[in-house]
Structure 1
Amino acid sequence: MPRPSNTEARREQIVAGLLKAMAERGYEGASVAEIARAAGLSAGLVHYHFEDKQEILLTLVRSLASRARQRFATRASKLAADDARGRVEAFVDAFLATGPDADVAAVAGWVTISAEAIRQPEVRVAYEEVVRADLEHLEALVAAVVGKRRARPLAAGLFAAIQGYFVLSASAPGLVPPGSAAGTVKRMAAGLLDAATLSPSDREVS
């Protein structure tokens, strides 16, 4: 696998700096100087690689989405080809599970991004693009269990639960028992899928 270029590595370093700075000071307080400090670089290097702070944030949106999708791919690769329910659980785990690849900073960052999506049209476009793609992915996973007709509302409900846990864990962490999010949403998913699963004679052709 080729090594990333110096430019790519620097950009990733700066994006990670924004994530760290936002965790400490929020987006408004994450000035270019603070991002540079968190990244261990000079402010001049930050300006060299990015036009402004918003461009770094937009890059962070794509980076966080890619990290969650990679966690799903890793989990899904360990499942049998016909384990449709396992893939729904793997999706939930990819976003909410604790463990060696848990991404606590990413959760807090995603909540900040969702808030900025309300304020900044450019961020809203990037945020909606990521959310739409992830929701469509979850809908396809759910459809493999219950059929296409019933998949959309179930997927939307599960995705909303995931996003709700993001907000709670970032804004009021004491309200969420540690390590409970993934297990709770997976149990919700199991109940919803059981209730929606059609009998073989009624199942629509997907």
Structure 2
Amino acid sequence: MADDAGEAGPGRATAATPVKGRKASKAARRAQLIEATIDSLAKRGYAETTMADVADGAGLSRGIVNFHFESKENLLIATLQHLADEYVGHWEAAVTKAGPRAADRLWAVVAADFDRRVCTRRKIAAWCAFWGEAKSRPTYQALCGARDDKYQQVVQGILAELKAEAGYGYAPEAMALSLCAMLEGLWVRLMMGGTRREAAWAAAVDDLVATFPKHFGYEGPLAG
């Protein structure tokens, strides 16, 4: 680490090391508590989750939870923010990696919904717990709504490109709403145990093939 004059300062370099360690420890503890909150939401639901449950699930003292989050509401907001950031970052990376073709990007964004990194029963159950509270909690509504709006806008733009390429008769905005609702419904079925992840992905593929026959086959986007 350099001092204010741009030269090495041995004393400050020595002091910096434990600061970095404390910061890393704080971030690790927060992440540990957020994961324990997701577990509790999946197991107990929103109303029955307590800070004591989270502390016990994380294997930490209850004072640690209070130190990092101060209240149950702060802990839950941080957990929802974590889930939203993870979800958005995941599908955005998938779309970027897919490249410029609209069909490749739509396939990627739909496939991302069933990737194990975001599509697990515990995470979906946590999402559903927050969705159930969003109507009466403006902060949750804003976080969930921002995630959904961004996703739907990107999907709508891709669908407009597919329509221009193949002359489909749908309205992109309505089709984006329909596609997003279908994906959300599959997540609910997964959370309820009504189907398995592989079967849900297969159902999504069926929908893509039936709706966009000029762009998709069962193995993925068509060449051309």
**TM-score, structure 1 length as denominator?**
0.79
Kindly state the Cα deviation for residue 87 of structure 1 after the two structures are TM-superposed.
1.3
Kindly state the Cα deviation for residue 78 of structure 1 after the two structures are TM-superposed.
4.5
Q: Gaps spanning 5+ residues in structure 2: where?
A: 1-19, 165-169, 216-224
2:134 to 74, 92, 117: 117
Determine the C-alpha separation between the residues in 2 that align with 1:16 and 1:102.
15
SS of the residue aligned with 1:30? coil
SS of the residue aligned with 1:180? helix
1:54 to 56, 73, 79: 73
2:94 to 51, 64, 75: 75
| Count of matched residue positions in the alignment of Structure 1 and Structure 2 | 190
Determine the C-alpha separation between the residues in 1 that align with 2:113 and 2:76.
20
1:170 lines up with 2:187 in the alignment? no
Q: Gaps spanning 5+ residues in structure 1: where?
A: 197-206
Determine the C-alpha separation between the residues in 2 that align with 1:65 and 1:108.
14
Determine the C-alpha separation between the residues in 2 that align with 1:190 and 1:183.
11
Bigger Rg over Cα: 2
2:38 to 19, 27, 50: 19
Determine the C-alpha separation between the residues in 2 that align with 1:139 and 1:58.
28
Instruction: List structure 1 segments (4+ residues) > 4 angstroms apart after TM superposition.
Output: none
Determine the C-alpha separation between the residues in 2 that align with 1:107 and 1:101.
8
1:134 lines up with 2:151 in the alignment? yes
Task: List aligned pairs for 1:1-206, cutoff 5 A.
Answer: 5-79=24-98, 81-98=99-116, 102-147=119-164, 150-171=171-192, 173=193, 175-194=194-213
Determine the C-alpha separation between the residues in 2 that align with 1:143 and 1:54.
40
Q: In the alignment, is the contact (CA less than 8 A) between 1:146 and 1:193 conserved in 2?
A: no
Taking only the aligned residue pairs, the percentage that are identical comes to: 22
Kindly state the Cα deviation for residue 7 of structure 1 after the two structures are TM-superposed.
2.2
SS of the residue aligned with 1:96? coil
Residue 218 of structure 2 corresponds to none
Determine the C-alpha separation between the residues in 2 that align with 1:35 and 1:145.
46
Determine the C-alpha separation between the residues in 1 that align with 2:185 and 2:179.
10
Determine the C-alpha separation between the residues in 2 that align with 1:152 and 1:195.
20
**Per-residue CA distance 1:62-82 (angstroms, 9 max, x = gap):** 222222233324534543x33
**TM-score, structure 2 length as denominator?**
0.74
Query: For residue 137 of structure 1, what is the amino acid of its counterpart?
Result: V
Q: In the alignment, is the contact (CA less than 8 A) between 2:190 and 2:200 conserved in 1?
A: no
SS of the residue aligned with 1:176? coil
**Per-residue CA distance 1:127-162 (angstroms, 9 max, x = gap):** 212211222222223223225x83211111111011
Kindly state the Cα deviation for residue 195 of structure 1 after the two structures are TM-superposed.
8.2
